[in-house]
Structure 1
Amino acid sequence: MDEPIKNSWDLRQEIIRLKGVEKVQGEAIAERFNSPAAIFSTLFSLFPKSPNTGENKSSIFNQDFVSILSRFLIPITLNKTIFKHSGFLIKALVGLVSQKASGYVNEESVVGIFDKVKALFTKKRTYAKEHYPYSL
């Protein structure tokens, strides 16, 4: 819209112009979804390629099992426990934030945390065996 609408004639012309734009955009959208291959290419374009390696690290199809599982379990767990009586907007925000946070949860990080916890229990047990050999 280049010129401001000053009278009814300008308004009618703008309506005609907008209907033409709507028709062109509707045809473009229909063309984009006219075949299954076009639909899949549109869906895959939602997951952009990583600029560094050429492979898609952020895509749900190239993640390990723990990452995929955390993308669903973190929001559900938070919304069912901590934010149980919250409204729709809060739950939606929690879902968005936890989706981003789940990108940092992968198999390596979970195994690393498990190894640290395991090492703590191993240290406690060896300490107990050294200092209290008859108690265990």
Structure 2
Amino acid sequence: MDATIKNSWDLKEEIIRLRELEKVQGAAIKQHFNSPAAVFTTVYSLFPKGNHSGENKSNIFNQDFVSIISRFLIPLTLNKTLFKNSGFLVKALVGLVSQKASGYVNEEAVGTVWDKAKTLFSHFTKKGPVEKRYPYSM
């Protein structure tokens, strides 16, 4: 509320009102942080609430295990290998880009890649019947 201040009495009244408002808001903040459960509830309320059907992946609590691990593993791996001797800004940009890219990594995508790799390797390791491999065996 913006009060119009016309004289010194109005200014003093506004200062008193603001100090009382500060006390009330300070008590409310202390109430939010007076126990570990209250701290957890306050921090959890900062995250956006979405449907938990699996379609909304913007919230970290809605992601699967592979997505959460990839959010930390991809930037760490890139900064320790490819961008090892890079400066702070390059590493920060790599971190930001890889955080966005890790949103596409989930259990389904990893499972699909794993199945394709298994199929590819099974073609190389597939062996025929024993008679074809050892035609002169006893």
Q: TM-score, normalised by structure 2?
A: 0.60
Q: CA distance change for structure 1 residues 113 and 36 in 2, over 3 Å: closer, same or farther?
A: same
What is the CA deviation profile of residues 17-55 of structure 1, one whole-angstrom value per residue up to 9, with x for unaligned ones? 877766555444323212222211112123322248499
1:86 paired with 2:87, answer: yes
Question: Could you say what secondary structure the match of 2:46 adopts?
Answer: coil
Q: CA distance change for structure 1 residues 83 and 15 in 2, over 3 Å: closer, same or farther?
A: farther
What is the CA deviation profile of residues 81-128 of structure 1, one whole-angstrom value per residue up to 9, with x for unaligned ones? 2222221x33233223322322221111111012222323344x389x
Structure 2 unaligned segments of length 5 or more: list them: 134-138
Structure 1 unaligned segments of length 5 or more: list them: 4-8
- Partner Cα separation in structure 1 for residue 111 and residue 59 of structure 2: 22
Tell me the residue number matched to 2:95.
Answer: 95
- Partner Cα separation in structure 2 for residue 15 and residue 82 of structure 1: 57
- Partner Cα separation in structure 2 for residue 23 and residue 83 of structure 1: 50
Equivalences for residues 1-136 of structure 1 within 5 A? 25-51=25-51, 53=53, 57-84=57-84, 85-87=86-88, 89-123=89-123, 125=124
Q: TM-score, normalised by structure 1?
A: 0.60
- Partner Cα separation in structure 2 for residue 43 and residue 77 of structure 1: 29
- Partner Cα separation in structure 1 for residue 63 and residue 83 of structure 2: 27
- Partner Cα separation in structure 2 for residue 38 and residue 74 of structure 1: 33
Aligned residues: 125
